Amino acid sequence: GAVVSQHPSRVICKSGTSVKIECRSLDFQATTMFWYRQFPKQSLMLMATSNEGSKATYEQGVEKDKFLINHASLTLSTLTVTSAHPEDSSFYICSARDARVGNEQFFGPGTRLTVL
């Protein structure tokens, strides 16, 4: 199946700093990528849909100025958590849609963000 990578896998930062998370589709082009957030013992919550070359579509309740998404190429989407605070600590997961396989979503391994 298609492979999606995320970098970094784990990041610890101080409160007030910004953190960038990368999501890459390694062997296919993805016009659409998705960003999810997963709290412990909770389900994945869709944060936003990232479309190559256009603005991301954010889900209700997600602050677009805090979670900046850029999808500048067909293989890369980035999520920047700006001015991170401890409540932003979470597991962030991206997925990429592969049109070659019925638009199935392939998921990255996730990024564990800890804000001190």
Partner 1 sequence: AQSVTQPDIHITVSEGASLELRCNYSYGATPYLFWYVQSPGQGLQLLLKYFSGDTLVQGIKGFEAEFKRSQSSFNLRKPSVHWSDAAEYFCAVGPYSGAGSYQLTFGKGTKLSVIP
Q: Considering the complex, what minimum distance in angstroms separates the CB of residue 82 from partner 1?
A: 25
Identify whether 40 is preceded by a cis peptide bond (ω within 30 of 0).
no
d(CA 115, CA 57): 25
Q: Considering the complex, what minimum distance in angstroms separates the CB of residue 112 from partner 1?
A: 10
Bridge-based pairing state of the strands 44-51 and 32-38: antiparallel
Residues that bind partner 1 (CB under 8 A): 1, 4, 9, 32, 34, 41-46, 49, 93, 95, 97, 99, 102-110
Residue 98's nearest CA partner among 35, 7, 34 is 34
d(CA 6, CA 27): 14
Q: Considering the complex, what minimum distance in angstroms separates the CB of residue 35 from partner 1?
A: 12
Q: Which is nearer to partner 1, 9 or 15 (CB)?
A: 9
Bridge-based pairing state of the strands 76-81 and 32-38: unpaired
Q: Which is nearer to partner 1, 33 or 84 (CB)?
A: 33
Q: Which is nearer to partner 1, 9 or 29 (CB)?
A: 9
Q: Which is nearer to partner 1, 32 or 78 (CB)?
A: 32
Q: Considering the complex, what minimum distance in angstroms separates the CB of residue 91 from partner 1?
A: 10
